[in-house]
């Protein structure tokens, strides 16, 4: 038997930080590390298991034999077990066999800090390293210029397992995606991609939202360094990378974090706080220092070692409220009698403070579906500290409106105008995400009413309205070419649809809207402030028309936007304009190149000294059917 040699990567200061919940690079200490001790190469193992009676490393190097390689517990009451095993090499499979001092319970667990995991359904951890020669220096050095809140931010949401499939419906690898996906995102003009969770997960139908390997990119698509290549190539193409991050819950799979050392180590011991009834999963104990350090270290890890440009935090609402999806009697109020989870609020504030203090040019984005205040406001003003928040209310109201037959829309204009009453209370991202195209909700395209022409005209109108509304943008894959079927995680997107004009027209619309967004400062410089938006007329419900101005830092960049939500062509439609000059149409969703009817406002449009809409000047336009038209001052 090869002896476990006493060795430690921890200093006393590390332990103090860990106990206080302030060690945010735990991945440098815990886990499996390829090191050399006294001239001998091997692996240093360290795992947190405070209620353990013994901890064995079992693996393919000792025939999975318990007791063969026993780790030693530290003397400092940290609960950390550690030791160096000579001659273990990169690629070795291992787990921790933990005998608890609680009734002799024995658990066999994957390493919470494993850098690489066996391909599911296998569950062992793999000894690995993070060696990689990055080539994205240009992006990283100028990231603030591409990733700031006053910059265009158009996000393509991707599920790696179903964006495109290979022969026999196999997954594409990270390396294949580094060619195909990067080229496609660059072609369509998105500024960022957002990956649904890439961290290791055991169950495909969870889409990655039930994690077991928090520090390991899923091995379904290749090795950790292969995922680095994908991120690297996106950066080299000038495309930012956002990762979905799931600190809200985790599954109770036997090899995962649940009941880790025979105790409720990572999950809250009170089932009213430690179990999620919707997802039948476990909830982290946000009040436990070591758990907070684990989670924040994990966030730091992906930003540091995988060069992520942002984290979209999943299911924030479920974290914030003690009564979330719970009936009366199934939850306990906080010490002030309220329903807010004070530990979660404290944790999220600290998470955001650590991220923004340590990384320039990154963003955190909250998927938060309630009216919880100041989600995207700095912590020093009482906010949670996120950079952005998903505008779920806008999404629901907008889709509800667009699903109505056009003859009824004049009665529901408030569904659209209501968003502007709260649009600047947060830094909002406008999301049409994967959640809107599953479970019988239909694809975005098939939510639209009318015959085929009207469906696609409505879809072009929807996207034009989205891109001219204040806020950043997010669109789920397939929606950019009018995918007809609901998303199915087991198959590729329906790429064959691009042979048809209406679908290729939608892709052309999205490409041109992305380029319009990126090249017109009025659409992004003040996207989170009321100074960047001015209604022209929001009350013409009889014609179902909205008109407004988007503004940047320079008035010469202002854009006039007019939306016609019916299929009736509006001849000689007059709108008020705040100043003299001329207008020119710069985008028209009804253009024939998109599959529209080709009704346009050609040439230069002269603004007249004729008062209208409460303004001293006005202009006469033709409003194409079911269209968004955008005009610049010339």
pLDDT, tens only, 6-55:
999 999 999 999 999 999 999 999 999 999 999 999 999 999 999 999 99
Distance, in Å, from the CA atom of 339 to the CA atom of 370, rounded to the nearest integer, reads 13
Contact yes or no for 489/434 (Cβ under 8 A): no
Query: 471 vs 32, 75, 530, CA distance in Å?
Result: 43, 53, 11
12-109 shares its CATH topology with 530-633: yes
Q: What is the pLDDT of residue 2?
A: 62
Is 314 a catalytic site residue? Answer: yes
Ordered by start, the domain boundaries in the chain are: 12-109, 530-633
In words, the CATH class of domain 12-109 is mainly beta
pLDDT score of 180: 97
Confidence grade of residue 3 (pLDDT, cut at 50, 70, 90): confident
Tell me the C-alpha distance between 215 and 28, whole Å. Answer: 12
**Rounded Cα–Cα distance for residues 393 and 373 (Å):** 14
Q: How many CB atoms lie within 10 A of CB 497?
A: 19
Q: Residues 362-371: what's their mean pLDDT?
A: 96
Q: Could you give the CA distance from residue 157 to residue 180 in angstroms, rounded to a whole number?
A: 15
Exactly one of 244, 367, 585, 590 is catalytic; name it: 367
**100 strand-pairing partners:** 52
Let me know if 187 is a catalytic residue. no
Q: 134 and 307 in contact (C-beta within 8 Å)?
A: yes
Query: Which residue out of 82, 111, 136, 314 is catalytically annotated?
Result: 314
Residue 413 CA to residue 123 CA, distance in Å, equals: 53
Q: What is the pLDDT of residue 1?
A: 46
Q: Of 99, 117, 105, nearest to 32 (Cα)?
A: 117
Q: Which long-range contacts link 371-376 to residues 24+ away (Cβ below 8 Å)?
A: 372/317, 372/320, 373/425, 374/426, 375/316, 375/426, 376/426, 376/427, 376/428
Instruction: Please tell me the predicted confidence (pLDDT) of residue 105.
Output: 93
CA atoms within 13 A on the CB side of 466: 31
Average pLDDT on 167-177 reads 97
384 vs 553: CA distance, rounded Å: 28
Nearest to 348 by CA among 326, 378, 310, 309: 378
Q: How many residues does the chain have?
A: 634
Average pLDDT over residues 548-557: 97
Rounded Cα distance, 133 and 135, in Å: 7
Q: Average pLDDT of 91-108?
A: 95
Q: What is the pLDDT of residues 260-319, one digit of tens each?
A: 999 999 999 999 999 999 999 999 999 999 999 999 999 999 999 999 999 999 999 999
pLDDT at 104: 84
445-469 residue pLDDT tens: 999 999 999 999 999 999 999 999 9
Mean pLDDT (the chain, rounded): 96
Distance (Å, whole) CA 330 – CA 101:
30
Count CA atoms closer than 13 A to 524's CA, side-chain side.
Answer: 22
For helices 501-519 and 452-468, the axis angle rounded to 10 degrees is 10
- Considering only the top CATH level, what class is 530-633? mainly beta
């Amino acid at each position: 038997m090869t002896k476990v040699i006493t060795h430690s990567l921890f200093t006393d200061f590390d332990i103090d930080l860990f106990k206080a919940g302030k060690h945010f690079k735990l991945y440098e200490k815990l886990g499996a590390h390829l090191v050399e001790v006294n001239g001998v190469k091997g692996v240093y193992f360290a795992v947190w298991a405070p209620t353990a009676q013994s901890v064995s490393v079992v693996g393919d190097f000792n025939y999975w034999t318990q007791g063969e390689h026993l780790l030693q517990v530290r003397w400092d009451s940290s609960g950390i077990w550690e030791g160096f095993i000579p001659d273990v090499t990169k690629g070795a499979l291992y787990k921790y066999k933990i005998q608890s001092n609680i009734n002799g319970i024995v658990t066999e667990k994957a390493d919470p800090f494993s850098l690489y995991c066996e391909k599911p359904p296998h569950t062992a951890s793999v000894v690995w390293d993070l060696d990689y020669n990055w080539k994205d220096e240009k992006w990283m050095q100028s990231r603030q210029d591409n990733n700031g809140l006053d910059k265009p931010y158009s996000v393509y949401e991707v599920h790696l397992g179903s964006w495109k499939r290979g022969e026999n419906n196999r997954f594409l690898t990270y390396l294949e995606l580094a060619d195909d996906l990067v080229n496609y995102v660059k072609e369509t003009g998105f500024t960022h991609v957002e990956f649904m969770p890439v961290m290791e997960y055991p169950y495909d139908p969870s889409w990655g939202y039930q994690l077991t390997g928090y520090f390991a990119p899923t091995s379904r698509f290749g090795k950790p360094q292969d995922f680095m290549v994908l991120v690297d190539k996106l950066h080299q193409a000038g495309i930012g990378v956002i990762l979905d991050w799931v600190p809200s819950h985790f599954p109770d799979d036997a090899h995962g974090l649940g009941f880790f050392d025979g105790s409720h180590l990572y999950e809250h011991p009170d089932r009213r706080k430690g179990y999620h009834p919707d997802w039948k999963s476990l909830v982290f104990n946000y009040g436990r220092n070591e758990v907070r350090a684990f989670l924040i270290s994990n966030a730091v890890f992906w930003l540091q070692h995988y060069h992520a440009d942002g984290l979209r935090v999943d299911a924030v609402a479920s974290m914030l409220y003690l009564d979330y999806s719970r009936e009366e009697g199934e939850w306990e109020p906080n010490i002030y009698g309220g329903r807010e989870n004070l530990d979660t609020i404290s944790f999220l504030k600290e998470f955001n403070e650590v991220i923004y203090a340590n990384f320039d040019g990154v963003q955190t984005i909250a998927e938060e579906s309630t009216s919880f205040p100041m989600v995207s406001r700095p912590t020093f003003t009482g906010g949670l500290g996120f950079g952005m928040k998903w505008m779920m209310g806008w999404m629901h109201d907008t889709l509800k409106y667009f699903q109505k037959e056009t003859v009824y829309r004049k009665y529901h204009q408030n569904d659209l105008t209501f968003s502007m009453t709260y649009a600047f209370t947060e830094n909002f991202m406008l999301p049409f995400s994967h959640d809107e195209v599953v479970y019988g909700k239909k694809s975005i395209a098939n939510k639209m009413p009318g015959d085929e022409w009207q469906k696609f005209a409505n879809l072009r109108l929807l996207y034009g309205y989205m891109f001219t509304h204040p806020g950043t943008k997010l669109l789920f894959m397939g929606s950019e070419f009018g995918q007809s079927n609901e998303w199915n995680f087991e198959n590729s997107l329906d790429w064959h649809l691009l042979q048809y004009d209406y679908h290729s027209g939608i892709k052309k619309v999205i490409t041109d809207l992305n380029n319009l967004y990126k090249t017109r400062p009025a659409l992004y410089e003040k996207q989170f402030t009321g100074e960047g938006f001015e209604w022209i007329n929001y009350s013409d419900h009889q014609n179902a028309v909205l008109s407004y101005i988007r503004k940047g830092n320079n008035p010469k960049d202002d854009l006039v936007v007019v939306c016609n939500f019916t299929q009736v062509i509006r001849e000689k439609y007059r709108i008020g304009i705040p100043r003299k000059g001329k207008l020119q149409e710069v985008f028209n969703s009804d253009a024939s190149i998109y599959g529209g009817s080709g009704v346009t406002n050609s040439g230069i449009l002269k603004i007249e000294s004729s008062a209208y809409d409460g303004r001293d000047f006005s202009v006469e336009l033709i409003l194409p059917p079911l269209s968004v038209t955008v005009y610049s001052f010339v």
